[in-house]
């Protein structure tokens, strides 16, 4: 699997994202609705961050008569490793120079694929819009560009569902410098060899990283089972459901509990069946040759007499059932 690499070795970033990770606007003059950046590579060129194919290309006449590569969209050919998980990636580049790509053109990782240029458009008064030469870049996970609503991309120059560039690209021995002003907020690129590994606490929540990627779902580690949220990867504690089954994860360390368990908060005994993946037992249970009954909520019957399926049973203080 290829690693997604930043598309230049050296560059000046002149404008960064217009919204932060929480969706709050950042003071910026043209990126207020997206996470795109403007960048000026030292040699004026972008190099393919992974093997990819051009899926869309829009060319228009620039005000100086040249053919200007207004917008080109590329999709990785395969799933690639990013700092936030393995995925295919969609990349859009805009304002390129005259040597733009074409639909169907393939590029190998490290191959020159885009050259910076000026905007080549017109302002509100129909006058030439001359901007500093740069490349406008935006990225997102996924490869479904053809089925996306292209309106934001074509009209506003960004990809719906875009992510910060540092969530998509690893450091490519890149040296970045930064423009001045509140519209250019420096960011840090992770290096592929220094990604997070193992248990990492972020605030009050624990996550487990493997090869720099958050593990999600059930995980066996160090002789214990853990339940990591399927969406966020956050380690679950206490009672947690997976489908129609309930489990209990030790609040102190996240370990899945099995066997008999006293829940002080509910003042009840439960049985977390090790023969059923640790799921909470309901209804009849035979353990050590003795019969017990646990209600639909998992609570063990004790100190009571109940009629079950037309038969009377007495449950002693230990929960053991006898007829009558």
- Alpha-carbon distance values, 205 to 222, 227, 252, 282, 286 (Å): 19, 13, 12, 31, 38
pLDDT tens string for the chain (324 positions)? Answer: 789 999 999 999 988 888 877 677 776 656 777 889 999 999 989 999 999 999 988 776 555 555 555 788 999 999 998 988 889 999 999 887 655 568 899 999 999 999 887 655 544 555 555 556 889 999 999 888 777 776 666 666 778 888 999 999 999 889 999 988 777 888 889 887 655 678 888 778 899 988 667 899 999 998 999 999 999 999 999 999 999 999 999 999 999 999 999 999 999 999 999 999 999 999 999 999 999 999 999 999 999 999 999 999 999 999 999 987
Residue 2 · residue 172 · CB < 8 Å: no
Query: Residue 94: what pLDDT?
Result: 85
Q: Under DSSP, is residue 26 helix (H, G, I), strand (E, B) or coil?
A: coil
175 strand-pairing partners: 10
Query: Residue 192: what pLDDT?
Result: 76
In angstroms, the CA 106 to CA 53 distance is: 4
Query: Residue 123: what pLDDT?
Result: 47
Query: Residue 100: what pLDDT?
Result: 59
In angstroms, the CA 207 to CA 259 distance is: 26
Query: Residue 152: what pLDDT?
Result: 65
Query: Residue 129: what pLDDT?
Result: 52
Tokens 């059930």 map to which residue?
218
Tell me which residue of 135, 167, 6 sits closest to 71, measured CA to CA.
135
Residue 95 · residue 226 · CB < 8 Å: no
Q: What is the pTM of this model?
A: 0.57
Residue 46 · residue 8 · CB < 8 Å: yes
- The residues, any chain, with a CB within 8 Å of residue 236's CB and separated by 6 or more, are 226, 227, 228, 229, 249, 254
pLDDT in tens, 84-99: 888 999 999 988 765 5
């Amino acid at each position: 699997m290829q690693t997604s690499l930043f598309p230049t070795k050296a560059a000046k970033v002149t404008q960064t994202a217009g919204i932060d990770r929480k969706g709050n606007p950042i003071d910026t003059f043209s990126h207020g609705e997206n996470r795109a950046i403007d960048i000026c590579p030292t040699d004026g060129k972008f190099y393919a961050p992974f093997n990819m194919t051009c899926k869309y290309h829009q060319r228009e006449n620039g005000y100086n008569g040249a053919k200007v590569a207004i917008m080109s969209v590329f999709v990785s050919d395969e799933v690639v490793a990013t700092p936030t998980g393995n995925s295919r990636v969609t990349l859009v580049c805009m304002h390129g120079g005259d040597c733009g790509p074409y639909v169907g053109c393939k590029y190998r990782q490290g191959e020159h694929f885009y050259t910076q240029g000026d905007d080549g458009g017109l302002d509100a008064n129909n006058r030439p819009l001359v901007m500093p030469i740069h490349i406008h870049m935006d990225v997102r996970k996924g490869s479904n560009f053809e089925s996306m609503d292209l309106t934001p991309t074509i009209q506003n120059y960004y990809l719906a569902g875009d992510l910060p560039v540092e969530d998509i690209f690893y450091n490519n021995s890149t040296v970045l410098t930064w423009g001045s002003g509140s519209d250019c907020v420096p960011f840090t690129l992770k290096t592929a060899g220094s990604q997070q590994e193992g248990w990492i606490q972020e605030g009050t929540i624990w996550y487990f990283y493997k090869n720099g990627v958050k593990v999600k779902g059930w995980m066996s580690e160090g002789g214990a089972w853990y339940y990591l949220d399927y969406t966020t990867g956050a380690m679950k504690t206490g009672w947690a459901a997976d489908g129609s089954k309930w489990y209990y994860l030790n609040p102190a360390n996240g370990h899945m509990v099995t066997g008999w368990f006293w829940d002080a908060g509910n003042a009840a005994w439960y049985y977390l069946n090790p023969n059923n993946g640790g799921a909470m037992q309901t209804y009849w249970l035979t353990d050590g040759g003795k019969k017990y009954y646990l209600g639909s909520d998992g609570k063990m019957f004790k100190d009571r007499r109940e009629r079950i399926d037309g038969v009377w049973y007495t449950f002693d203080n230990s929960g053991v059932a006898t007829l009558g």
